[in-house]
């Protein structure tokens, strides 16, 4: 069963994850369960949508292919949204505990803290104002 995460409406309708999720469910003909899988497996022979979700590796492969088709100058992976959550949460001034809970990290996660430190190197840099 997937982890349930509360996602608020976005302030910009064109980027709102809740509106996108609702539209996707409607267009894909998915059931009304609010916490169901966003991306489902297809039957290998009939190509019908099945109840099971994609394997995590498959989701990562899809994100990478979409990034290539979009011509991004980075290579997104399945981990990119989680890391992006940490970056944007920090920019919004949120406490680490909020990102840990939302992203599924253990309390005091050194991995998550490492992401924060990577992002801090540009904001908290000794060369700002010197160069």
Assessment of whether the complete model's pTM goes beyond 0.95:
no
In whole angstroms, give the CA distance from residue 79 to residue 74: 13
In whole angstroms, give the CA distance from residue 84 to residue 115: 9
Q: What is the pLDDT along the chain (131 residues), one digit of tens a residue?
A: 667 788 899 999 998 989 998 898 888 877 766 667 878 888 888 888 788 888 888 989 999 999 999 999 989 998 888 888 888 888 888 888 988 988 889 999 998 888 887 767 777 777 788 87
Please name the residue that has the structure tokens 């292919």.
Answer: 65
Nearest C-alpha neighbor of 52 from the set 33, 64, 69, 39: 39
Please say whether the dihedral angle defined by the alpha carbons of residues 54, 55, 61 and 64, taken in this order, is positive or negative: positive
């Amino acid at each position: 069963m997937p982890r349930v995460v509360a996602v608020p409406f976005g302030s910009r309708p064109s980027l709102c994850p809740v509106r996108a999720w609702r539209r996707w469910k409607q267009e894909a003909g998915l059931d009304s369960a609010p916490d169901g899988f966003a991306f489902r497996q297809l039957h290998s022979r009939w190509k019908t949508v099945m109840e099971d979700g994609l394997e995590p590796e498959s989701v990562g492969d899809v994100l990478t292919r979409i990034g290539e088709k979009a011509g991004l100058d980075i290579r997104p992976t399945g981990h990119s949204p989680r890391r992006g959550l940490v970056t944007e949460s920090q920019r919004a001034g949120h406490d680490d505990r909020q990102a840990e809970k939302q992203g599924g990290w253990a309390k005091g996660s050194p991995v998550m803290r490492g992401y924060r430190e990577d992002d801090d190197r540009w904001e908290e840099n000794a060369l700002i104002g010197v160069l």
